[in-house]
Structure 1
Amino acid sequence: MGIEFSRGGRKMSSNDFFKGIMDDAVKNAISSYAETLHGKASSVVDPETGKHAPVFVRSIGKEKLTIHTSGSAAFAHALEQRLGLNHGEVRSMNEPGNRERLVYLAHAWEDKHLAKPLAEGLMGLGINVWYDNWEIGSGDSLRRKMEEGLGNCTHFIVLLTETSIKKNWVNEEIDAGLMNAVEGSAKFIGLRHKLPLSAVSPFLKTRLTPEFQPGDEGLHALASDIYGVSKKPPLGEKPRYVETHQSGSTWSAGARVVAEYFVRNSENGQPLEPMATHEEIHQETGLPIPDVRIGTLDLVGAGLLEEHGYNGGDSHFSPKSDLFATFDGDFMDWKPDEDARDLAVHLLNLDTQQADASEVSESLGWQARRFNAAAAYLVSARVVKPIEYMGGGDHWPPAFMLGDELLRFVRSL
């Protein structure tokens, strides 16, 4: 008689059986390591406030962890020292990102028929452009004005044509733009128009030099990567996928748009709701597919989205509970971090070791959608431990285990 293998009441091959055991072992090891890291991190106080700040240790895939904190950048650095990590491995969620962007548009005079519509089109999409016809007036020093534009620009765009690459003046601008790129002060983009890649210099071949696409498609591709406020002639209405996403956070614009999609389309703020493909997100948000792909990649990498692959079909993406704890405050009428403090105090006042989520939600007068985001915040920060069971209803988790971590969190408020 042969040996039958089964897991969870389901029969399977010996290979699948032993693979399942190995996967469980890896998962348990990663979970144990995450608990160890979080235990060490929780003993560190923010040097700027003297209080314990929430720390989020999240799993990415099967074998990776990422660490974020809502504390200061100094706290993130202190965590790296305490945990023996390299600089940059702990990310502060409050880093500034509000530098105004300015595009410097370099071109040959003979290419004005391409440059002017490009400049006007970018302006019409809300992008500030340095264009010589607008910047240089009678009596102005051409070189001084150009140096001012080059010195302030955050994005350097040059129209690469058979004519422009032969112009000494344009090549001087390219050299300046490349120097800014090397120094990290500006991003270099060379737009090739009817010019093969083989025709540009070896150094330019190592830089971003896409084919120039006149019209809306090309303009929107640039607009998704470059965004700024201008004092130039009236700007057009900003694209929908950019308008509500201001600078000031460490998330990419694409990641914020994708996150907003899941936040606004989730009924109860639970894991796995909703599920969507790249195309479905693109259709509802208007975000170009390349930016949808990058945005979902950012969120998967941060441990906030989960990718589900299907044989012969497109991948689907679904939110983890941490996504709502992270982004509800940007797009909903409540702040999960503030609600989490109120929820923690309420739980501590219950003076019990276990609490039912639906009962607590009702006593606070919160709908499940709002309650779940605050609960996810506390679970992710290891302030409370989730108790999961079938039939948990609209609340996740359906119940909590409460301990001294809750006491420490409340005492640090």
Structure 2
Amino acid sequence: MRYLLFAVLFFHPTAWAQEPRAKLPVPSEAALAESARVVAEVYKADYEKAKTPAAKVELAKKLLTEGVATKDDPPGQYVLFRIARDIYSQQGDLPGALEAVRCITAEFTVDAMQLKVDAATAAAKASKPAKAQLACAEQLLSLVNETVAADQYPHAKSIAELAVVCARGAESVELIKRATLKAKEVDDIAAAFLAVQQARETLDAKPTDPEANQAVGKFLCCVKGDWPRGVSMLALGSDNDFKAAAILELEAKPDSLKVGDAWWKVSESLEDLGKQRTQMHAASWYRRAIPMLSGLTKAKVESRLKSLPDATDSPAPNVAAAVKERDFGFSNVWINETYKTTIRKVGRSWVETSHTTGKVTLNYVEVDRNEKYVELFCVERKHKMRLLKSGKADFDGKGSWQWISNGHWEK
């Protein structure tokens, strides 16, 4: 039996680009100490001139620029970035400090989140005027979303508390309210995350377990606001209303009105944050449907949209960056030459189409993705399949993985 699957580069210009350059390890303490001595010597006059906060920020900019230009001296580059980060943080300039962290993480293998948290903590505690406090608080709230998206809840809690402090320093009633609500929200999400740990462990062993998929999928969507990851789990879940809404959303060509109505129905059984998250998600589908609606149906949808708070008030975390990081560079089109079918990613689901008839023959839900493979679950046949980074496939038809090499089954 032959079953050859290989990835096809399809409408993806970056797919032909070279592999990204490997990051460097952090230089040794001895090398960093020597580079710090050299930097202090070379920029001695600049340090002496930097007496005011503005002058110190300019010095940080200069060091950061020099670091970017330094290509042949890793210890020197690391030290320049690190000193720039520290100066920015000491002056309460969080955007500058985070840019320095970005430069470090682009070149070196480090704990990026820890560096961001350290920079944010130092910048938040630095003495600064009200206007700078305002900018820092806004940046901290953005960082809270990032830490929540990465499930780094201890970090999220500490950053949220700092955001409240900066908001008070800015004397902005509106910002104090938002920061306080964000801190409470982080506590709620952290508690909910702990509550689904057993379900997450179950999914490690049984990826299609209905109860576990329901618990984790509901957490991701209704608590965390991470719909791209959660919907496919809810499609495998145990609650009929959630399942029906998720399956409608994962269709190759979803009906926006039906999807919106289905999620609105789900929201009516929820409370507080879950209700808000789900209604805002339903609203995103309703807005797509409105141009095609008329009469009573349009009036119903518009009434529901008006009943919701402004989308900018939604506390849903910004998970776009995290989702992008989880893409791992896989092709979205795979061709089975033996059976003349193509498996293609459509939205957040996958479909298998016959080359002969052009019709969809099978539907798949993505249940996992990492650096090595994308794992799919076939809705109709109830089997699992892994699309490997190597361009081959790993097919589970009878409960055990069978690896494919050169188009042949291997025992």
Tell whether the structures are fold-level matches, with TM greater than 0.5.
Answer: no
**Class of the TM-score when normalised by the shorter of the 2 chains:** under 0.3
Q: Choose between structure 1 and 2: higher helix proportion.
A: 2
State TM-score, norm by structure 2: 0.26
